[in-house]
Amino acid sequence: MSLDSLARTAYTEDHEAFRQTVRRFMQEEIAPHGAQWAEDGIVPKSIWPKAGELGLLCPTVPEEYGGLGLDFGYNAIVDEEAAYYGGVTTGFSLQSDIVVSYIVNYGSEEQKRHWLPKLVSGEVITAIAMTEPGTGSDLQGMRTTAKKDGNHYVINGSKTYITNGQNADLILVCCKTDTEIQPAYKGVSIVLVEADREGFKRGRNLDKIGQDEADTSELFFEDVRVPITNCLGQEGMGFIYLMSELPQERLSIAVSAMAGSQRAFDMTVEYTRDRKAFGKPILDFQNSRFVLADLKAKLQVGWAHLDWALARHLRKELTPEEGAAAKLWHTDLQWEVMDKCLQLFGGAGYMNEYPIARMWRGARVTRIFGGTNEIMKELIGRKL
């Protein structure tokens, strides 16, 4: 089975033609290297320009800034194919689905002309630094500061769990430009920090339980001076910008979770059909069939909901609560699928040499990043 056998409603023929290009890239340039990159703890920067050349990076960037000017459906296809065929957390989705939207929507003309073509080509890799050691999902509680000194900001603080942290050439740093104002969210700004600025240091490439190939890092800012023109959009509007862009980030997580779930299911059906116990295929046991039948029904519902959410987002109608609900439901489903599929692999499922084991480990974080699923329930609940 493949993603092609699913009857999708969110995509056009142009989307599906693009899918074939993405799939070839994932199968030829990404999947064969996954084990080595996991061992290295990082995806090499050299793969980014190859993706950029094929239009896989930041397809929504307007043509005037070097992009293709396409809709988010093209991003979603990259996410799906990466999760299903690539099997590697490359960091592409962070750049394409999350970071670039901040620059397109809030950046100055100068910032857009300077950075966007480089993001599209893969010449520049980006990260967004929100989370701090003591705050987690509570973005209003951040302690990193950017204090004015003449026509510069002086940035001090630390961030952690930052995707693309080792590779990043440009970091969007969420910080307090005003520590006194109340409510606290009005003091948050987003400031662009180039990785070659004096006082910026990368900490450890963090040792995670999954997604071993992703460079997730600590970042430190010690009297880092940047021009005030590096502020993204208006000073003090950072929290509002973050809240505005989070629905797309959460939809992106849901897309990857759904495609990863389908991949695990398809692999498990194939394994239980071939593997024998007590003289017959594991799939012939009623328990195996019932577990897989239940998962198949939930996957069917999942794809229908995902296409509904994608269609809503393409019409610019997806609400923050709907984005939160998509992230909550699809990542919960992903964990259920991964766990039940691993069980059907038996002892083999616990061995890292089997893809299901690596997928199971990698899936654990999706209920945490992008805002924990408990926070998603809180966001949905506030609008009841």
Is 260 found in the same domain as 208?
Answer: no
Is 184 found in the same domain as 309?
Answer: no
Domain C-terminal end among 124, 139, 156: 124
Domain C-terminal end among 104, 124, 144: 124
- Write the CATH number for 322: 1.20.140.10
Q: Buried b / exposed e across 220-258, counting CB within 10 Å, b at 16+? A: bbeebebeeebbbbebbbbbebbeebbbbbbbbbbbbbb
Compute the distance between CA of residue 96 and CA of residue 78 in angstroms, rounded to an integer.
10
**Which residues does the annotation mark as catalytic?**
249
326 Cβ neighbours under 8 A, 6+ residues apart: 250, 251, 254, 305, 306, 309
- Residue 166 — φ and ψ, nearest 5°? -80, -35
**In contact, 170 and 181? CB cutoff 8 Å:** no
Compute the distance between CA of residue 262 and CA of residue 253 in angstroms, rounded to an integer.
14
Per-residue pLDDT of the chain (384 residues), as tens digits, is 567 767 889 999 999 999 999 999 999 999 999 999 999 999 999 999 999 999 999 999 999 999 999 999 999 999 999 999 999 999 999 999 999 999 999 999 999 999 999 999 999 999 999 999 877 666 777 899 999 999 999 999 999 999 999 999 999 999 999 988 888 878 999 999 999 999 999 999 999 999 999 999 999 999 999 999 999 999 999 999 999 998 999 999 999 999 999 999 999 999 999 999 999 999 999 999 999 999 999 999 999 999 999 999 999 999 999 999 999 999 999 999 999 999 999 999 999 999 999 999 999 999 999 999 999 999 999 999
Compute the distance between CA of residue 185 and CA of residue 366 in angstroms, rounded to an integer.
26
Is 249 found in the same domain as 228?
Answer: no
Compute the distance between CA of residue 259 and CA of residue 300 in angstroms, rounded to an integer.
12
Beta bridge partners of 322: none
**In contact, 154 and 194? CB cutoff 8 Å:** no
Task: Domain of residue 283: give its range.
Answer: 240-382
Q: Structural domain tally of the chain?
A: 3
233 Cβ neighbours under 8 A, 6+ residues apart: 106, 107, 190, 241
Is 200 found in the same domain as 154?
Answer: yes
**In contact, 218 and 179? CB cutoff 8 Å:** no
Is 198 found in the same domain as 142?
Answer: yes
323 Cβ neighbours under 8 A, 6+ residues apart: 246, 247, 248, 249, 250, 251, 309, 313
Q: Any idea which residue has 């949905």 for tokens? A: 380
Q: Model's pTM, two decimal places?
A: 0.95
Compute the distance between CA of residue 339 and CA of residue 332 in angstroms, rounded to an integer.
11
